[in-house]
Every structure is written in structure tokens, then in C-alpha cells.
Amino acid sequence: MTSGPNDPIHSLPPGPLRLTDSPWFWAVAFSLVSLVGIGLIASKFDARQRQIEGRFLGREHAARERARRAAGLPPIDLAAAAEDREAVAPRRIVPLWTLAAAAGLATLGSGAMLAREWRKR
């Protein structure tokens, strides 16, 4: 089935353009919601990330120690070499600001494109 100029869909007059018809509007909306979400989970994310990274670092140290022992080197006491979790906290492996910066840039970029699109209309 082909559509042509006599097709009822094509013969409708164009309606008013709405803001919600723009994909840039939705990009702005979703990136703003992601920024709000990041703000809401920031404190819980930090606590959870501290646990995850502490376990990761512990497994990494244990693997290095197993490799040292397998190579015939003298053992190191892992408890004595352990780092305090609070001392490691400022050096997050996966910081939350990177996600917030990406969401902020997406908001600014899509907002600029939305403004540009609406200026043309």
C-alpha cells in the first residue's frame, strides 16, 4: 500500500508545534532528572562505593601477596599493611562527580540545541 498526496494523513493541516515534540526537550528532561537522581543518591553512593572499593583493594592486595609467596618471596602481613578506609575515601576509584559532570554537560548541550531549534521556528 502506497501513500500519496490524497492520503488522509498527508491532507491534515499541520498543527501547532509543541515543545514536547522536540527530542531535545526530552534530552533536557532526562538529563535533569539524572542530575536530581545523582544528588539524591550521593551520600548513599559514597558509603556503598567505599565498601566496594575496600573489598576490591583487599582482594588486590591478597592476590599480590599470593603471587609474592608463589615466587618464593617472604610473606608480608596484610593486616599491618592495610590502609584505613577513611584515608582512602578521598581517592575514589569511581568518583560520582564524573557522572554528574556528564549529566550536566548533556543538560547544557541539549538545552542549547533546544533553544536553537525554537529560535528557528
45 vs 31, more confident: 31
Mean pLDDT of 34-57: 90
CA–CA distance, 97 with 66 (Å, rounded to integer): 35
Three-state DSSP class for residue 9: coil
pTM for the model stands at 0.62
Question: Taking a C-beta distance cutoff of 8 angstroms, is the pair 27, 106 a contact?
Answer: yes
| 36 Cβ contact list (under 8 Å, min separation 6) | none
62 vs 16, more confident: 62
pLDDT at 51: 87
pLDDT band, very low/low/confident/very high, at 82 (cuts 50, 70, 90):
low
Does residue 90 register a pLDDT over 80? no
Reference 46, options 4, 88, 81, 13; nearest CA is: 88
Q: Which three cell numbers stand for residue 40?
A: 539524591
DSSP letter assigned to residue 3: -
